[in-house]
Amino acid sequence: MPETTWWKRGIVYQIYPRSFQDSNGDGIGDLNGIRQRLDYLAWLGADAIWISPIYPSPMADFGYDVADYCGIDPIFGTLEDFDRLIEEAHARGLKLILDFVPNHTSDQHPWFQESRSSRTNPKRDWYIWRDAKLDGSPPNNWISNFGGSAWEWDEATAQYYYHAFLKEQPDLNWRNAEVRRAMYDALRFWLDRGVDGFRVDVIWHLIKDAEFRDNPPNPAFQASQAEINRFIQVYSADQPEVHEVVGEMRGVLEEYRERVLIGEIYLPLERLVTYYGKDLSGAHLPFNFQLIQTAWNAQKIAALINEYEAALPEGGWPNWVLGNHDQPRIGARIGPQQARVAAMLLLTLRGTPTMYYGDEIGIGKVEIPPEAAQDPWERNEPGLGLGRDPERTPMHWDGSAQGGFTSGKPWLPLDPHFRSRHAEGLRNDTGSILTLYRRLIELRRQHPALSVGAYAQVKTEGDILAYERQHGSERLLVALNLGHEPQTLPLPAGASGRLMLSTLPDRNEEPIGAQVVLRADEGIIIALGV
């Protein structure tokens, strides 16, 4: 793929649709709400929007339990609303990426209703059914990602079915060729409507061990961890045959022009990069969540970047993520000052960055009272802090009631600080984190060194993370102080330059000599040799 390919140069902005903008007062965001905010997204500088699931669903897991792959849930609108959204997004130069959830359906999906109706139904093998052990217990020790056994007994047909997540989310049998054809047809349904790509949910789960062997115990498991960590998922996920499926999905997208396949994959780097596929025939962008999982430490992050760059297959394009709908917000993890430094990191590393809605206005940790909790994971394993509601709270658009998100009662509480942390106010504040995000995005667009240039680490000590981005004769130095004390960084031998941007608003463009002092919690970009 050439450097000009949109998903290489562009910035992806994830929208959790329930929480972005409500247009009808029911307290839940919708497609028309997203459409109303397209001008904001274009102003910010996003190149593509990724929308979490909007398909018809009983909402047991808020849309990740799909009851129809070729429709829109009435909560979010209609197919006509979707068509209008994609038309208006494209008119503004915005691409649209849909979430695709192929590992499992809702238990209300017509396919599963047929499958569970009898052992002889033609769709029985579309899902994973197994006999009980002789003592009546589940077929093996596999654990649901949301806690408890991953096997649910079906009294009517006297077998267990497998669900990697909720019991309301039975797993499809991707070893069945008819399942594959049906799912690829669903992809084509949306591609024909103009969708620019897909983020594929839990793509590494699609194929399970053919013999359904027990997973081995995890010797490092602790009682404070989620139950899924009790065993190592050797046989329930990341099977060798999954790469054939990913390659077939990629083949469907190759029938269309410049579409992108993104895979959600929580795996170590050496296994993650295998999802690029042989000769790059797999996912264009296997999601790299290492910045979410690594301690906020300069030396550890520098080592991570080097390890990732070294592990990429030849021609593989990197990508970076700071947060999403399943992980605590970056502001909640590292605080508001370092969140500004994190923004510079995300938008200056080599590869495609994915932003998460609300990070650009500095939403941090939002406390959710127990009586307001919505996430089924929190309800299944209470007290472990696993609930994902805090990162799914509504966007703050202005200082009016409910932050301009809705005229009704929001489905989740807003950040109580929303009146001082909303897009309208921050947009007009030259020192705000929103202004910083926009300036970083502008720089990235103006300077090929930041969007498609090479990466080279600068050796440092202490709390400074530094690297060069290079393209042609242009050399840009990015220096990030991940600590809370001032740090001095010598410039590369014989180099001098000019400060282009600081994460702190009171530092303007200035010449830089043989060294530069970074204040506490500051990141800077320096143009070298000018």
pLDDT in tens, 339-353: 999 999 999 999 999
User: What backbone torsions phi and psi does residue 313 show, to the nearest 5 degrees?
Assistant: -70, 155
- Residue 478 falls inside a structural domain: yes
- Residue 153 falls inside a structural domain: no
Q: Is 255 a catalytic residue?
A: yes
Positive or negative, the CA dihedral 317, 90, 354, 242 is: negative
C-beta of residue 273 within 8 angstroms of C-beta of residue 313: yes
Q: What is the 3-state secondary structure (H, E, C) of 386-401?
A: CCCHHHHCCCCCCCCH
Whether the per-residue pLDDT at 312 is higher than 90: the answer is: yes
- Residue 494 falls inside a structural domain: yes
> Catalytic pick from 22, 73, 171, 201?
201
433's enclosing H/E stretch is: helix 433-446
305's enclosing H/E stretch is: helix 298-311
Q: Compute how many other C-beta atoms are within 10 angstroms of the C-beta atom of residue 137.
A: 13
List the domain range (segments joined by +) for residue 468.
451-528
DSSP for residue 508 = -
- Residue 513 falls inside a structural domain: yes
Amino acid at the residue 111? W
181, burial (CB in 10 Å: exposed 0-12, middle 13-18, buried 19+): exposed
Per-residue pLDDT tens digits for 176-194:
999 999 999 999 999 999 9
C-beta of residue 355 within 8 angstroms of C-beta of residue 388: no
Per-residue pLDDT tens digits for 476-513:
999 999 999 999 999 987 788 999 999 999 988 888 98
Per-residue pLDDT tens digits for 277-299:
999 999 999 999 999 999 999 99
> Catalytic pick from 80, 185, 255, 485?
255
Tally of structural domains, the chain: 1
- Residue 476 falls inside a structural domain: yes
C-beta of residue 173 within 8 angstroms of C-beta of residue 129: no
Query: CATH no. for residue 473?
Result: 2.60.40.1180
What is the predicted pLDDT for the residue at 529? 86
Question: In the structure encoding, which two tokens stand for residue 304, read together?
Answer: 């991570």
Per-residue pLDDT tens digits for 372-403:
999 988 877 877 787 999 999 999 999 999 99
- Residue 457 falls inside a structural domain: yes
Q: Give CA separation, 432 vs 332, 422, 455, 522, in Å.
A: 17, 10, 28, 14
C-beta of residue 16 within 8 angstroms of C-beta of residue 52: yes
Mean pLDDT value of segment 423-452: 97
Those residues with Cβ within 8 angstroms of residue 10's Cβ, 6 or more apart along the chain or in another chain: 47, 48, 95, 352
| Model confidence, pTM | 0.97
User: What backbone torsions phi and psi does residue 442 show, to the nearest 5 degrees?
Assistant: -60, -45
- Residue 470 falls inside a structural domain: yes
Question: In the structure encoding, which two tokens stand for residue 454, read together?
Answer: 């090479």
- Residue 480 falls inside a structural domain: yes
